[in-house]
Structure 1
Amino acid sequence: MTFLRYTALGDSFTEGVGDIDETLPNGVRGWADRVAGALHVVDPRVRYANLAIRGRKLVPIVEEQVDAAIALEPDLVTIHAGGNDLLRPSVDIDAIAAVYDDAVRRLVATGATVVVFTPHDPGAAPVFRALRGRFAILAEAMRAIADRRGAVLVDYWRIRDYDDVRLWSFDRLHMSPAGHQRMAIAVLDALGVEHDLQPLPLQPLPELSSVDRHREDLGWVTGFLGPWLGRRLRGVSSGDAVEPRFPTWSVPPA
């Protein structure tokens, strides 16, 4: 398939957090940039917009990004949301699914091809494993939404490559460059777009002693978990001062 106007919506997953590139807006690249780049190889007329902002919950994503996306008249839209809702102390997953469903309905009604995602399976992540039931319920809701609305589904839950810690960044919450590359491949494959993207090479995992593992866990607590919890307590989001990376049509980054 050929697409010429691709708009990406969502939170940090789509903004590209974890895939550091200081030469690009917000200092990140991400899987959506990689998808846009692959589309541009197929057809140099391709233009790309990315409205995603880190830290956003579902309702703000819908309120801030869906109408803006529709106004751009894209022929391809990806939307990923809900992860930040699932991490809150309490969440109404049925309400999230209803909002999500209506947003996808509106996007599909424009005639664009719409790509949606299940959340990933956090079963291999000790810190987030306790939330696995929430993620599973939303995953099944997203499969139902894709079926009902005729959207393209990327079933993140079933991509078992993400059980490998090397596909995750230091914060254990966002994908690493290798994880973003793997997601770009999954999206392009789901769309049936020919591409030459290959998984990034992975370094061998070091053998850690229990002391080293404890030191690594402590570094994660002080370097990420503590500041993250502090922002939650203060009602501050990591995206409060962040602007969309590509709010209007742009040539995809090389």
Structure 2
Amino acid sequence: MIVSDLNPSEDLHPWRRFVAIGDSFTEGIGDPDPTVPGGNRGWADRVAEQLASASPDFSYANLAVRGRLIGQINDEQVEAALELQPDLITLCAGGNDVTRGGNPDFIADELDSMVKRLSRDGATVVLFTGPDIGETPVLGTLRGRVAIFNENVHTVALRHDAVIADLWALRQLHQKPMWAPDRLHFSALGHHTIAAMVLDSLGVQHSLDPTTPEPAASTTWRQARAGDIDWAREHLFPWVMRRVRHQSSGDGVSAKRPLAAPVFGKANGPVPKD
């Protein structure tokens, strides 16, 4: 649902306070921007910018921290989010647990208890399915487990009347430009595409134009293997070593927007280039 211009005087949606909780996906990792709090923009900032453009008194907080497991999000972010008295909450949690071998059913049970708490005051809650990672190096082996988790997410959403933002169904995410160089997080273009999908799922008009990345340049077998080696050295090996050492990329990191505050953003900025 795209419009070329949004009139701030028009009441295009019912929400006045948006709080986002989760892990690196919601923090915006993969979409660096030194002009925003925390240095990463991401889909949640983009959604907040669009919602704020239609509501002068709109405020936004983002409590997400990279590397957090679902239990940590539950312990550290849920009550903090409720204290901000939001009427719109996005929750993406469980992805890190699935990639570390967690049982999708047990993860969903914890998600269910979180959504029950988050919706107690009547806030709209948005849940995310995991993306289809079948073609993704390393993570592709987890595709079946992600699919099971996604079915559980749909069940939780039905039980608590939550909105589903369906990353699995967003087929554009299969394209290479949608992913950051680490192949684990989304690029600026990926976050832009996801933000538009979230707003569409909420039935909100927005100015995020759809975009189709240019086809990836063809590479020789030798170039592709060299790229894989560089990626493994720069991104995969450090990720594996953190797992072995029981470390997290979020150690020492705090939420980038811990308080609900007005949004001064780029709602009508250019579409990111692939």
TM bucket normalised to smaller: over 0.9
State the partner residue of 2:44: 32
Runs (4 or more) in structure 1 with deviation over 3 Å come to none
State the partner residue of 2:164: 153
Offset at residue 202 of structure 1 (A): 2.8
TM-score, with structure 2 as normaliser: 0.90
1:213 to 213, 217, 224: 224
Contact between 1:76 and 1:114, CA under 8 Å: does it hold in 2?
yes
Offset at residue 125 of structure 1 (A): 1.3
Unaligned segments of structure 2, at least 5 residues: 1-12, 266-274
SS of the residue aligned with 2:147? helix
Query: What's the CA shift string for 1:17-48, capped at 9, x where partnerless?
Result: 00010122221000000000000111121100
The one-letter amino acid of 2:93's match is A
1:109 to 120, 139, 157: 120
Query: What's the CA shift string for 1:171-201, capped at 9, x where partnerless?
Result: 1110000100011011101111111111356
- Please give the residue correspondences for 1:91-106 in structure 2 after superposition, counting only pairs within 5 Å: 91-106=102-117
State the partner residue of 1:63: 75
SS of the residue aligned with 2:56? coil
Contact between 1:33 and 1:253, CA under 8 Å: does it hold in 2?
no
Offset at residue 3 of structure 1 (A): 1.0
State the partner residue of 1:119: 130
Contact between 2:69 and 2:96, CA under 8 Å: does it hold in 1?
yes
- Please give the residue correspondences for 1:1-254 in structure 2 after superposition, counting only pairs within 5 Å: 1-88=13-100, 90-200=101-211, 202-254=213-265
Contact between 1:178 and 1:199, CA under 8 Å: does it hold in 2?
no
More helix by share: 1
Separation in 1, partners of 2:62, 2:251: 17
The one-letter amino acid of 1:80's match is C
Unaligned segments of structure 1, at least 5 residues: none
CA RMSD of aligned residues (A): 1.1
The one-letter amino acid of 1:229's match is V
Separation in 2, partners of 1:96, 1:205: 36
